[in-house]
Structure 1
Amino acid sequence: MAPRAYWKGTLKLSLVSCPVVLYPATTAAEKTRFHMINRETGNRLKQQMIDAETGDVVEGDQKGRGYELRKGKYVEIEPEELEAVQVESNHTIDIESFVPSDEIDQRYLNHPYYIAPDGKAAIDAFAVIRDAMKDQERVALAKIVLTNREHVMAIEPLGKGLLGTTLRYPYELRDEDQFFDDIKSPKITKDMVELAGHILHSKAAHFDPSEFKDEYENALKALVKRKASGKKIELPEPEERPSNVVSLMDALNQSLKGRGGWRKSARSHPRRTTSRHRSTRKTHRSTARHRKAG
């Protein structure tokens, strides 16, 4: 049985529409979380709002919202004024256009949702929209209102359903130039690039998220389990940091140590290397849409 829907409404493509439901595609329920507690009593602590200037505790009826115009100067916004500018939801996912999936900059991808038909009567129209998108290999761009804000959503087929991912607005992204402009362009030899390229080929794989292991989360769970059972916690000795490798060429060669003569292998099997490279690129393209939405 599917969990409770996060949103219900209508998916609309021109004059074709069908009732749909949205479910969040991600969850943080399994992450280990801690609460602040009183060490003396073991009781959980409760936070209070404090006036930054007077230090007085502020009660609920005294709390308000304000926008900082300049340091320490705020303009107060009344609840009814805020409600007046909020977008009222019409509970419709209105598809406006279809774009090639590789044109969507991954930095714009925000929160993913599963979209499913709402009831048996919606299945036919839902399947038509989904299968048409599969044939065209394009991603739909639609508008949807969630929590009083209008979002642009990218929609694409995923198995028997659809995957909708809200997109960030341009003002939410930082310009990469301010971070990359100071990166120098050193002279790198062809041998270095070839060595690095061989390391990449030797580590070629397929995208398999089941192999992702959250070591920190696992360590947290083990820590809590041992602590709760009364076992002593042994603190590990700090690891020594490895010394910096002075020569980049030495680092590349050491990375390949024990893998055999790469030059001989590359020259004796040029077609097989090219084929593997093409296969890797093809795999990358075939999983790109799923990786973007995830």
Structure 2
Amino acid sequence: MHTMWKGTISFGLVNIPVKLHAATENKDVKLRQLHKECQSPIKYQKVCPVCEREVESEEIVKAFEYAKNKFVVLTDEEMAELQEEQTDKAVEIVDFVSLQEIDPIYFEKSYYLSPNEGGSKAYTLLRQALKDSEKIGVAKMIIRSKEQLAAIRVYENTLVVETIHYPDEVRDVKEVPNVPEDVKTDQKELDTAKMLIDQLTAEFDPEKYKDNYRTALLDLIDEKKNNDETATATDKQVPDNVTNLMEALEASLDRAKKDKPAPKKKTTTKKKMKKNA
């Protein structure tokens, strides 16, 4: 499993060298966009609207837009210095809380933690302590150039980091439009709804849930591929140097013919006739 990050997690005087691994993967079927006419993949270019030309990566700088068309430019060196200052700090668990106290809306992405060299004993200690206390650790850490609030918990004998949103990243629920407040509910309808919930109540088994759309899409792709319903991108016409040279020579010859002065008429015969007379 690919290691995304190496660092140290500490609680109290205990330091745990760890590695971070992605716990989930996006299995969405990625579709390309083709030009309908020639079946070639569409390219997206970075173009400057003022210079009216494509811009290379080394010409691009990062900036924060603090007002319309007003920017604060940040250099790569300044960004790297900030990241280095934060990365050098150990990830410290600052609080231990109950998992039930964190609403799922705060959870963002999951990562597995494995012990790095010499960290197995401390890793096992934290894992067992979290199990016995039924608590999770709340910590701060840098992931992909961003300081993250994170929850460290146990999942099937492995420590897991759950990145969680900061409170100001969760939108105010009061801004959701048209949410009914006090609407009287018919008791009979409510009882029926509760009965339906009871009938559909079961233990959560993630294996029973499948992505039917993704499965159907992959089946359709396989069917069209097996029936040779495929498209091949048109190769871009690369200029042939030989052809270009021949065209250049022919063009030069034509030009030379046009520019060449017309030949003078010969008068030798008339001169000879006068001399002999």
Shorter chain as normaliser: what TM range? 0.7 to 0.9
- Per the alignment, residue 184 of structure 2 pairs with 187
State the AA in 2 paired with 1:150.
E
**In the alignment, is residue 59 of structure 1 matched against residue 56 of structure 2?**
yes
- Aligned amino acid, residue 182 of structure 2: S
Equivalent residue, structure 2, for 1:285: none
Q: Name the CA shift for 1:81/1:116 in 2 (closer, same or farther; >3 Å).
A: closer
Q: Which residue of 2 aligns with 1:288?
A: none
Tell me, yes or no, if structure 1 residue 46 matches structure 2 residue 47.
Answer: no
- Separation in structure 2 between the aligned mates of residue 123 and residue 64 of structure 1, nearest angstrom: 43
Q: Is the 8 A contact 1:91 1:145 kept in 2?
A: no
- Relative to structure 1, the CA distance from residue 45 to residue 180 in structure 2 (aligned partners, 3 Å threshold; closer, same or farther) is closer
Q: Which residue does the alignment assign to 1:34?
A: 31
Which residue in the other structure is 1:113 paired with? Answer: 111
Q: Is 2:119 the partner of 1:122? A: yes
CA 1:186 to 1:47, structure 2 compared with 1: closer, same or farther past 3 Å?
same
Matched residue SS, 2:176 = helix
- Please name the residue that 2:65 is paired with: 68
User: Among 132, 136, 159, which residue is 1:135 paired with?
Assistant: 132
Q: Helix, strand or coil for the counterpart of 1:162?
A: strand
Structure 1 residues 18, 232: closer, same or farther in 2, change over 3 A? closer
Residues 175-199 of structure 1, C-alpha deviation per residue, up to 9 Å, x if partnerless? 0011167424221121111111111
* Shift in alpha-carbon separation, 1:9–1:99, aligned structure 2, 3 A: same
What TM-score do the two structures reach when normalised by structure 2? 0.74
Partner of 2:98 in structure 1?
Answer: 100
Task: Give 1:107 shift.
Answer: 1.2
1:4-61 CA deviation, whole Å, 9 max, x = no partner? 2111222212111222111111012x43112233444444333211224564322333
User: Gapped runs of 5+ residues in structure 2?
Assistant: 231-277
Residue matched to 1:158: 155
| Cα distance in structure 2, aligned partners of 1:129 and 1:59 | 48
Distance 2:64 2:86 in 1: 23
SS of the equivalent of 2:53 reads coil
Checking the alignment, whether the CA contact within 8 Å between 1:115 and 1:164 is kept in structure 2 is: yes
CA drift of 1:65 comes to 2.1
Tell me, in whole angstroms, the C-alpha distance in 2 between the residues paired with 1:7 and 1:76.
Answer: 28
The alpha-carbon distance between structure 1 residues 59 and 80, as it changes in their structure 2 partners (threshold 3 A), is same
Identity level (%): 28
TM-score (norm 1): 0.70
Taking the aligned partners of 1:203 and 1:33, their CA distance within structure 2 comes to 34
* Residue number in structure 2 paired with 1:90: 88
Kindly indicate whether the alpha-carbon contact (under 8 Å) linking 1:24 and 1:112 is maintained by their aligned counterparts in 2: yes
What is the distance in 2 between the residues matched to 1:42 and 1:91? Answer: 51
Could you tell me how far 1:170 is from its partner in structure 2? 1.4
Tell me the number of residue pairs that the alignment of Structure 1 and Structure 2 aligns: 229
- Shift of the alpha carbon at 1:221? 0.4
Distance 2:167 2:54 in 1: 39
For 1:199, which of 196, 199, 211 is the aligned residue?
A: 196
Q: 1:38 to 1:69 in 2, by over 3 A?
A: same
When the two chains are superposed, the root-mean-square deviation of aligned CA atoms in Å is 2.3
Unmatched runs of 5 consecutive residues or more in structure 1: 234-294
SS in 2 for 1:83: helix
Mean Cα deviation higher: 77-86 or 194-203: 77-86
More off after superposition, 182-191 vs 70-79: 70-79
Structure 2 residue aligned with 1:283: none
- Matched with 2:213 is 216
What is aligned with 1:239?
none
CA-CA distance at 1:169 after TM superposition = 1.0
Structure 1 residue 13 corresponds to structure 2 residue 6: no
Find the residue that maps to 1:88 and give its secondary structure. Answer: helix
Structure 1 pair 122–72 and aligned structure 2 pair: CA distance change class (3 A): closer
Residues in 2 aligned to 1:232 and 1:147: alpha-carbon distance in whole angstroms: 41
Q: Which has the larger radius of gyration?
A: 2
